Structure 1
């Protein structure tokens, strides 16, 4: 009798894969066994007595066709066993603890079956806020070890009651080996406390439970802290202007948009345009925050004006845990659902920390006693250029590994530590890359400590022992310093990777570009990246692959007067751009009625001019981000300073969207060949932009012309360079390409010219995807070195 060992690799643990194997084995009359181990799922099988030898082929085909909803099969490897199996049945065996080569499935939103159960008064899980099964529920946020079993999760402290244990042990039940399985008799519980930490009695307040009390108090205008799956949120009624304004004051978040959570699609459609693709994303197991265009008119209760100031888009998500479903079940309007922290700090995850840090921010706190092992923020997605693009990769997506293209199979294990902002590290081994969840900006000391804690947990969890470490070329990034220290401590080679080369490589890996497939042309636009020449880059055209790159074109470097202050105060960039475009005083005299220039005249420009002339605290930068800031400042956006990264550019895009038209030529930028490559000079756009403002052209149209002109200048040059270097593919990356207008304009023009455009989908184009590129570059160089 022919017997086989079948190895299934991928995301196949904790998702109901073994029960699926067991069921299909019955269907195809196989005997044998299945178990989890460190490499995925291992199957030993043979046809039952009198069975057909082709049953194993049909069985493997069925595994792929009937894969559980949360599973991902990367490979099915088959080999013959030396002797037949001595069994007359097919069994599910206990997990085998071996070296880890498998991944963990991301946390998954409540499935329809579990959502129906918590709404059903006849079901024993009616209103139970921790209902889950193998198709949904927490994963990364509760796991402490692999193989993924209950004993290695934060659910280990909750022994299952007989009924839950029976479900857990029954291969025919959808809760078979659902590690977080629980009910109201045996699982975690939820309770409500006031700002002093005193527990409230729902019955004494006339409510059936703590969640109902919390919902009622939200209606009364209170601010609520909610312990969710991956951390705490701060919530309030999104239509209550006073509550929203008070939340901004307490949280010290003065301009950045708030995320919203709505009970269902119907509520979201009352405020935003939701097409079929958007609905599918919102209802997916990842359940991200999705940026949606606001509806121009609505009969729904108006949102508070402070929800998303200066924006046309709103960030909506649907409830993704039973607790959220229960909290919002009676709401026909949205709740603000923003991270539970002070602005820029990491999100709270444990009850004691929440009492310390959120007691001053929230009137009440909804707590539970299931430990959050790993902090995981909400993911953010925006549909651009016909597909969903991740802007923040976290809950629902991390830590699902990214399969690397051909050439990376034999790389040594790599650790890449990303950049300073939107931090996420990457572990590369076995032909795949595992990015951590979004961790935040390392300028914050708490976030920097969180990076180290999460990194140590991942290294232990996935039994990784990196043989090389990759860091950003910038010498002062905290991630670079951490990598340098770890490399020295462990005697490991350290690979310094230029920022924009990493963006390019990240896009290549995201698109399955083979290691030996040759170079592409990359357009990389962001805020800043340290160049090998010691200068600040940020608007570059590169020709490169995983091994190396050449900078063939860039925006003209312009001073950043005040250094990092110029990032926070867009007017500084406007002054620098006008100085470079013919002189501030000349342009001011030519356009005396422009309000933004009059206000600029009240600034300490003489001091800034001296700094720029002497090169003191005024580094030259080719940053596209700073060019956007300058244009925004010319239109009166940004005021004295911005309150979050990219605010001026984001509000400029929102203005442009009101008047954008594919036929706009836009303001001109010139390209000239110099020793450093082709230089794109924005000086020529300023005379037309200022003339339009002087004539009273609507700011929406001015903003649209700015976008159109930059897109046309970039694509015209890219097409010429692609032809000159015989390149047929162009990669777009960098945080500026989070701008939908710019991304779609550039992509459309390049595609119309017959070029293939590579865009990112699995990782963000911003620095959240940087570590993937760093890891691939370090791996390619290690493989080349032999």
Structure 2
């Protein structure tokens, strides 16, 4: 009797069969060969195949062996797999074959999607670094456990012919690996080697550089102070030596990027520890298959000061492709790795585009001939007191589905169009939400084109036809206008969602909160959002859930002189806040202080007239503009912000060392009916006195943060206790302020509340589309 036949016979002489269903991210990640290997080791018979819902397994064997097999399916799953559920039912009869096989998927089966691009796995890296291996030094080595995915796919089904690898025919050795279930490259669509795959070369202004090792030559030029354009997985990056102030300053000058922090790539964690303190949680993020940029506190040796001016943290990442590993090993210094573009433009993805647009910035171009189909920025994360937080969700994270509460499984398909800035979109169906990669600001024409292209691709990949389209209330958002047009074209129902309600619902959704158990108090702080009353909101406490909300509290509205211009020039907000707090006597309150000096040459009379007459000075409860005003009072980039949130970020860094010595500035609370209004007049009164006394700016910044947190926490606790809300959600772009979120979380959790903080999607507008989707799904069921 054979080993297989013996294993199929239990003590009673009967075989036991099970049909096993595995749901989750289980296609295109090596799950079928994983099943095949485990089944053969257990001596089971049957088969495994992909279908429209995931992976289906039919297996026969001893019941104990089948139990152990099912446990190992999840416990030993491939690195890129994510199992959302395993179920089974009994199969009657005997197996038709005595072996276990991988069966072809049924014709017409719809794929469950495409997984995110994944950092080079340890096995592939070992091959790249081993002189005796046939892939030694090969920049495009990958396997089923790592490599490009979303960045190279053009359509479904996800096979080589539908990717930018279609032009590279596998050599016999690679084809043999691809066809062998026992090989980790089984059905790895980007599989290649130096014989048959993409090639890398170096160019400069004179043309192709004649050198034996383009990557080593690029590293040498970088160490000599040069700037290189490097073609990666999701786009071109600009690189220079992160320890050279001359090189970094020159890169900023050429790129026209004055102050926004630059990301840095190090060859390994040991190199990172020379420049930053790293906790175990941060180490885990750095080494994840998503390989994000992780914001780390500066410590030890200094990088070039221009890497992250005005910041106490710097964004580090590890190499996530063999090309990057080879380059960083050859350079042996950390490199600035920033998007290959002029400021505010999308990064270049095509070779000719990079030659043209990066001319005058780059001294040389490290090129390759594998097309980038879908532009992907690097993801950005940070570890806070509540846990890890996604600040930008892109390469390595998108398009992984986010499982929702069970109630959403029966919702109609929803396409949510997102916001205007930091735009994403979301597809909701079957109890999952697929949030796109970060696409950027839609006001930029090239970004808007990327946005439309990405939606078309996702609809194709997921075979998605929306029955509901969700948009922001703001009629002038390009995403709103696009969503309106799509709803008209497809006949889908259009649902308009209030901006801050979407922020709160996004937080509920990613935590799996069930409708019916979603009564929540949301502290939602951001820059601007269109309110249900037609005014501009931004500092809100909302009470409700997916199905609706009431505005329980707000910041006292203050004018935005110049409208959008006030977002860019913090001094305008300082004038408006001072005038609101002190009336006509505001100038005397800051006489002789740094704030007076800041405003001395500004057209403050004009601003006052605009506010008094209501000319291009709409009232807003914006939290973001309050932060801008206080930063301007402290002399932090008062004239102009070079990037969104600069003033607040630099003030946060200034405040951090002073927190233990700081009490909080006071606030005023007025109640009218069910609405509470938080007035910052007492805060400005105390702050003006500190300015007059010459109190250290860092201490003023710390007292401001503590005062804001104290006022919000106290107001929220009062509302929560009177409304029986025991859950509090923190969301909105201002909640990416580490100090504020940490103080609120500590205070509210200490009072026994369940405090939800965004972790899987950004608290800023990058998470807006998820909230729109779940609200619209509920509205469509109503």
Matches within 5 A, 1:604-683: 604-661=603-660, 664-675=662-673, 677-683=675-681
Partner of 2:347: 347
Instruction: Answer yes or no: is the 8 Å Cα contact 1:38–1:97 preserved in 2.
Output: no
Matches within 5 A, 1:119-138: 119-138=129-148
Instruction: Answer yes or no: is the 8 Å Cα contact 1:281–1:287 preserved in 2.
Output: yes
2:340 maps to 1:317? no
1:544 shift after superposition? 1.2
Partner of 1:111: 121
Partner of 1:753: 751
1:46 to 60, 67, 92: 60
1:156 shift after superposition? 2.1
Partner of 2:11: none
Instruction: Answer yes or no: is the 8 Å Cα contact 1:471–1:774 preserved in 2.
Output: yes
TM-score normalised per structure 2: 0.96
1:2 shift after superposition? 4.1
**Per-residue Cα deviation, 1:100-124 (whole angstroms, up to 9, x for no partner):** 3613221111111111111111111
Quickly say closer, same or farther: Cα 1:608–1:107, change in 2 above 3 A. same
Partner of 2:3: none
1:147 shift after superposition? 4.0
Partner of 1:358: 358
Partner of 1:205: none
Q: Which runs of 5+ in 1 are unaligned?
A: 203-207
1:160 shift after superposition? 1.4
**Per-residue Cα deviation, 1:357-394 (whole angstroms, up to 9, x for no partner):** 12232111111111212111100001112411000001
Partner of 1:518: 518
Instruction: Answer yes or no: is the 8 Å Cα contact 1:99–1:463 preserved in 2.
Output: no
2:709 maps to 1:708? no
Q: Which runs of 5+ in 2 are unaligned?
A: 1-14
1:5 shift after superposition? 2.8
Instruction: Answer yes or no: is the 8 Å Cα contact 1:13–1:148 preserved in 2.
Output: no
2:32 maps to 1:18? yes
**SS of corresponding position for 1:409:** helix
- Find the aligned partners of 1:134 and 1:364 in 2 and give their Cα distance: 33
Quickly say closer, same or farther: Cα 1:250–1:587, change in 2 above 3 A. same
1:747 shift after superposition? 0.5
- Find the aligned partners of 2:674 and 2:572 in 1 and give their Cα distance: 26
Quickly say closer, same or farther: Cα 1:95–1:200, change in 2 above 3 A. farther
Instruction: Answer yes or no: is the 8 Å Cα contact 1:39–1:99 preserved in 2.
Output: no
Partner of 2:493: 493
1:675 shift after superposition? 4.9
1:727 shift after superposition? 1.0
Partner of 1:602: 601
Instruction: Answer yes or no: is the 8 Å Cα contact 2:111–2:156 preserved in 1.
Output: no
- Find the aligned partners of 1:364 and 1:38 in 2 and give their Cα distance: 46
1:249 to 250, 253, 261: 253
Let me know the Cα RMSD of the aligned residues. Answer: 1.5
Aligned length: 768
Instruction: Answer yes or no: is the 8 Å Cα contact 1:239–1:303 preserved in 2.
Output: yes
**Per-residue Cα deviation, 1:618-668 (whole angstroms, up to 9, x for no partner):** 00010000000000000001131110001000001010012112x733111
Partner of 2:734: 736
1:763 shift after superposition? 0.6
- Find the aligned partners of 2:326 and 2:131 in 1 and give their Cα distance: 13
2:165 maps to 1:155? yes
Instruction: Answer yes or no: is the 8 Å Cα contact 2:155–2:457 preserved in 1.
Output: no
Quickly say closer, same or farther: Cα 1:42–1:352, change in 2 above 3 A. farther
2:44 to 7, 30, 36: 30
- Find the aligned partners of 1:8 and 1:456 in 2 and give their Cα distance: 28
Instruction: Answer yes or no: is the 8 Å Cα contact 2:171–2:195 preserved in 1.
Output: yes
- Find the aligned partners of 2:226 and 2:344 in 1 and give their Cα distance: 23
2:207 maps to 1:220? no
Partner of 2:7: none
Quickly say closer, same or farther: Cα 1:3–1:147, change in 2 above 3 A. farther
**SS of corresponding position for 1:6:** strand
Instruction: Answer yes or no: is the 8 Å Cα contact 1:195–1:360 preserved in 2.
Output: no
**SS of corresponding position for 1:627:** helix
Partner of 1:237: 241
- Find the aligned partners of 1:574 and 1:315 in 2 and give their Cα distance: 30
Matches within 5 A, 1:157-556: 157-195=167-205, 198-202=207-211, 208-295=212-299, 297-298=300-301, 302-556=302-556
1:694 shift after superposition? 1.5
1:492 shift after superposition? 1.6
TM-score normalised per structure 1: 0.96
**SS of corresponding position for 2:465:** coil
**Per-residue Cα deviation, 1:662-695 (whole angstroms, up to 9, x for no partner):** x733111111102571000011111111211221
**SS of corresponding position for 2:150:** coil
